[in-house]
Structure 1
Amino acid sequence: MKNKSQFKLFLELFATFFKIGSFTFGGGYAMIPLIEREVVENKKWVTGEEVVDVFAVAQSLPGAVAINSSTFIGYKIAGKKGALVATAGVILPSLLIITVIAMFFSRVQDNPVVKAIFSGIRPAIVALILTAAIKVSKTSIVDKIGLFLSALAVILVVVFDVQAIVVILGGAAVGLVIYYLFPLRAARILNGGGHKD
């Protein structure tokens, strides 16, 4: 009975991440809104705060954010096997689709219809990434310090071309400083922000 329920969970994990991998275009960041909707709102496997933490860790590690996120979530739900199942689910659609496209793309890449399709897809991808940023900001920016750090991170990455890992490590360092030097403020942040001061 336990094996049957475990198999059902693995199947659900695979199907969920296969769906995410199949219907998200534009790379890892474009997958964030769909991952959040599926694992937080639909399946309730993780909370909104937990998924933001997953995205932060996934971004700070080598590899694609969507693959890293699926591995983390799969592990949280069903251990090592869950991590493998979720990762396989999110990778398989891309693998199948890109294999087919690679066989034919060189023949159609200059086709006006194909160019028109891609010119429409690109702005839609930007909208998906922006949506993900807005959703994540609602649970991540809980006070003025968070707002300042977010603005500073954007400036460092966009204007000064600072590597993302440097920005993430800098944010982690600030978090540690606040935790040890300002414990009351840290407690408010960790408890959802309290009042925004």
Structure 2
Amino acid sequence: MIYLQLFLSFMKIGLFSFGGGYAMIPLIQREIENHGWLSASEFIDIIAIAEMTPGPIAVNSATFVGYKAAGILGGIVATFGVALPSLVLILIVSRYFFKFQDHPLNKMLFYGIRPVIVGLIFSAAVFVAQTAFFKEDIVFNLSYILKNFLCVINFKSMLIFAVSLICLVKFKINPILMIVISGILGVVFAF
């Protein structure tokens, strides 16, 4: 039964996700929470691993979640589920897209979809930030956090974030190098 749940959940994610892997993160998170397959911190770890490994983040995430929930076969089933809708849709759409690419309805459709993609990506960023910047035992409650700011903020994570952001934006450091440096900082701060 878990294999069917994994397949259907990830097929739904693959079918209704627009905007790439980061836009899929809130949908994957919701499915994981609904089925209790992983904790929030485990999911954040999977996102980090999926980001560092070659391939699309959605496929990597599906593989890791499926593996964690139901072993190797679970990983295969979840990966197939998330990839199948894209494969079918791209085969259908590619046949007609160029023919109707300049149609006003097509342009209006994409005009409406773009803002929701930004919202989905921002929602994923907020979820990751909640888990990364706040201590694990804190339920995200804005009023509680504002009242107890110094007690609930993980300042070491905030420092790694600030250093990473400055290095990536201002100094244009290679993202792979920044991941390695951040991992080393994490090890240093943990001791």
The structural deviation recorded for 1:94 is 0.6
Cα RMSD, aligned residues only:
1.3
Unpaired segments of 5 or more residues in structure 2? 135-153
1:14-25 equivalences in 2 (<5 Å): 14-25=7-18
The percentage of aligned residue pairs carrying the same residue is: 45
Question: In the comparison of the two structures, how many residue pairs are matched?
Answer: 172
TM-score, normalised with respect to structure 1: 0.83
Cα distance in 2 for partners of 1:165, 1:119 equals 33
Report what 1:167 is aligned to. 178
How far apart are residue 116 of structure 1 and its match?
A: 1.6
TM-score (norm 2): 0.85
Give 1:193's aligned residue: none
Matches of 2:84 and 2:26 in 1, distance apart? 20
Q: Distance in 1 between matches of 2:65 and 2:29?
A: 11
Structure 1: gaps spanning 5 or more residues: 1-7, 184-197
Find runs of 4+ consecutive structure 1 residues off by over 6 angstroms. Answer: none
Counterpart in 2 of 1:128? 120
Q: Partners in 2 of 1:140 and 1:107 — Cα distance?
A: 46
Give the secondary-structure state (helix, strand or coil) at the position aligned to 2:18: coil
Counterpart CA distance in 1 for 2:71 and 2:101 is 42
1:151 offset after TM fit, Å? 2.7
Distance 1:172 1:12 in 2: 34
TM alignment of 1:107-146, pairs within 5 A: 107-142=99-134, 143-146=154-157
The amino acid across from 2:15 in the alignment is S
Matches within 5 A, 1:10-159: 10-39=3-32, 41-142=33-134, 143-159=154-170
**Cα separation, partners in 2 of 1:160 and 1:102, compared to 1, 3 Å:** farther
Q: Deviations over 1:22-71 (max 9, x none)?
A: 111100000001101111x2001000000000000000011111110110
Q: Cα distance, 1:158 vs. partner?
A: 3.7
CA distance in 2, matches of 1:99, 1:167: 37
Measure how far apart 1:164 and its partner are: 3.0
CA positional deviation for 1:144: 1.4
Deviation at 1:97, TM superposition (A): 0.6
Deviation, structure 1 residue 162: 3.4
